[in-house]
Amino acid sequence: MVARSDQTLRKLPESRDWGTTVKSTRSTLHLLRLVAAVVLTLTLTLPTGSASAEGFDLQQFHPMPDQRNNYFGTASATVAPHLAWSAMALFNYANDPLVLRDADGERIESLVSQTGTLHLLFSLGLLDVLELGVDLPMIALQDGTAFPNGGLALEDSSFGLGDLRLVPKVRLFSTQEHPLDSGVALALLVDLHLPTGDEDSLQGGDFRVGPRLAFDVNFGGPRIGANFGYLYRPGTALENVTVDDTLGWSVAGEVPVSEAFRLTGEVFGRFTPSADGINRSDSPTEFLAGGKADVGHFLLVAGAGAGLINGYGTPDWRAFIGLGAATPRTRPEPLPEPEPEPEPEPDCRTATVATDCPDVPATVCTNGVLHTYSAVCADGECTYPVQEIRCAAGTICGEDDGVPACVPEPDCTSDDDCTAVPQPTCTDGRLTTWSGRCEEGECHYDETVTECGEGMECGIDDGVPACVPEPEPMVVRVDVETRRIELDETVFFATGSAEIETRSFNMLNQVADVLESNPQIRLVRIEGHTDSRGSRTLNTRLSRERADSVREYLIRRGIAPERLFSEGFGPDRPIADNNTADGRAQNRRVELHIVEQD
């Protein structure tokens, strides 16, 4: 019935009891439709026997007390600077905020055809984190008709005082130092509605508390904001409309067109969680658009809008205009520039640079380059530029009477430069050597005569005269007649093994020297012999392995393999009696026989 309800209405009998009996007069069709709609709606929504209606505050648009820093009815998350104030008179006109419709949505009658409310607004910022606001609404205009079931005198409510609203707001978080800065902010505010209005005229209601969170983002001019809140109020019902606690929301945006003018848009709405489902009458939504002119202390606000989802208190259209004064919305004055410090006294002057800049670095030689320094006064400060001097050919960076300078290049600067050392010589069995010595840039070569020690002689070592060990006596000789290479010593092996002992290396080296110095010896047979102790088979194999070891040794000493072959005879060719130790020692031997020679 009211508040643009979309509930379906049925055609009623000519009479229905809902507290008072409505009798059919059949005088006019219009009256029948009106009574039928009212009877059915109240039967569905009110307890049986209700004879009166309970009123509430019909006003749904509540402008923020500080229209400079906030949007229209949406609060920004910023607060006014400390002691910044704002005062405004804003006239708010709403057309058809409460109407009666039939089941088809056709309008039957305007219960409240228009309201005009003058809002006296004031706000004050405290401590840069708190803002206190006051909204005193005065209903200057309201046209209405008698409510269908009585109880509300809308036709006699042309002027009255609305519910006084107090709005404290505290900033919770902000990245802005000033409301005009870019950043994000979060604030908490509470709408406190005091019951100073007349609820029977839908100009006021019970005491209500509405906390809400405000969030907005400022992009250095353009900004967007959103509010989410909950309004606590005593529950009441009017026809098919539930008036109870509501969840409220709003979204707003603002764009500056110039320094003094900005455009503002806003959408806001609410719904009643305790209602039997969410319907249009319990969930009104409204859109507003307008602008704000801000010049010095004065602020002009104007806007208009319409209902998007029609419910109680949502008009067909709304218009408002406000004029006020406030602390100018300017950034704080920057701190004064600090007084310039007096120019410091210069460290030096060009005319007296020699005395003002005495710390001239000493001349030095660095990597063969002479570095000299001079004093220069530049912009009142002493500087010491360096000059690099590369010495001419035939000169080097050195010292002249203890002072770095380019001096004639000497023969030497260290003993290592004296490389023309004479070769060592052997004279009368003595070794004579020389060493280089650098003295005052000249090379001197000192002679040293060395007597070679015992077992040593002056000879050649790697092509250079030196003290070398005396040669071992020759124990190897070639017997041409017997076609043998005679060995004055025995080749010694490890017991029961073919491994040559080191004491035989010198003799075998002499054998290699003999073969190398006698290339006419083309082929040599190396024979291995043992005594008669032990198995003949084992002795034969051992003698062959020992002969092979001698052959391999001579090959490693540089003798061609094709000049040598080996053979083992075991105990078969004794040269002494195997019954004596001396005889057995003689039989354990290696013999070298010349097979071919030129």
pLDDT per residue as tens digits for the range 10-59? 333 333 332 222 233 333 333 334 333 333 333 333 333 333 345 677 78
Give the tokens for residue 524.
């040599």
Mean pLDDT of the chain: 81
Long-range contacts of 30-39 (CB under 8 A, 24+ apart): 33/102, 33/108, 34/100, 34/108, 34/109, 34/148, 35/148, 36/9, 36/11, 36/12, 37/1, 37/9, 37/100, 37/101, 37/102, 37/103, 37/108, 38/1, 38/100, 38/148, 38/149, 38/239, 39/12
**CA 383 to CA 378: how far, in whole Å?**
7
Mean pLDDT over 421-446 rounds to 86
More confident residue, 292 or 428: 292
Q: Which of these ranges, 80-94, 146-160, 338-352, 368-382, has the smallest mean pLDDT?
A: 146-160
pLDDT at 450 over 70: yes
Give domain limits for the chain: 53-326, 350-408, 415-469, 476-597
- How many percent of the chain have pLDDT more than 90? 37
Mean pLDDT over 521-540 rounds to 92
Q: Which of these ranges, 285-299, 330-344, 578-592, has the smallest mean pLDDT?
A: 330-344
Phi-psi bin for 117: left (phi > 0), alpha (psi -120 to 50), beta? beta
pLDDT at 203 over 80: no
pLDDT at 455: 72
Mean pLDDT over 128-144 rounds to 91
pLDDT at 112 over 90: no
pLDDT band, residue 499 (cuts 50/70/90): very high
Distance of CA 231 to the CA centre of its chain: 45
Mean pLDDT over 364-372 rounds to 85
Give the tokens for residue 22.
């409505």
CATH assignment, 53-326 = 2.40.160.40
Is the distance from CB of 53 to CB of 199 less than 8 angstroms?
no
Strand partners of residue 292: 262, 301
Other CB atoms within a 10 A radius of the CB of residue 169 amount to 29
pLDDT band, residue 158 (cuts 50/70/90): low
pLDDT digit string, tens, across residues 165-197: 999 999 999 988 777 788 999 999 999 999 998
pLDDT digit string, tens, across residues 235-268: 776 666 667 888 999 999 999 999 889 999 999 9
Nearest Cα to Cα of residue 215 among 183, 247, 262: 183
Give the tokens for residue 140.
């200057």
pTM: 0.48
pLDDT at 240: 60
Give burial (CB, 10 Å; 0-12/13-18/19+) of 493.
buried
**CA 583 to CA 574: how far, in whole Å?**
9
**CA 422 to CA 411: how far, in whole Å?**
17
CB within 8 Å of 443: residues ≥ 6 apart = 411, 412, 417, 418, 420, 436, 437
pLDDT digit string, tens, across residues 451-462: 887 778 887 777
More confident residue, 577 or 233: 577
- H or E segment to which residue 379 belongs: none
Mean pLDDT over 476-492 rounds to 82
Distance of CA 294 to the CA centre of its chain: 43
pLDDT at 345 over 60: yes
Is the distance from CB of 2 to CB of 240 less than 8 angstroms?
yes
Domain topology for 476-597? 60s Ribosomal Protein L30; Chain: A; (3.30.1330)
Local structure of 165: helix, strand or coil: strand
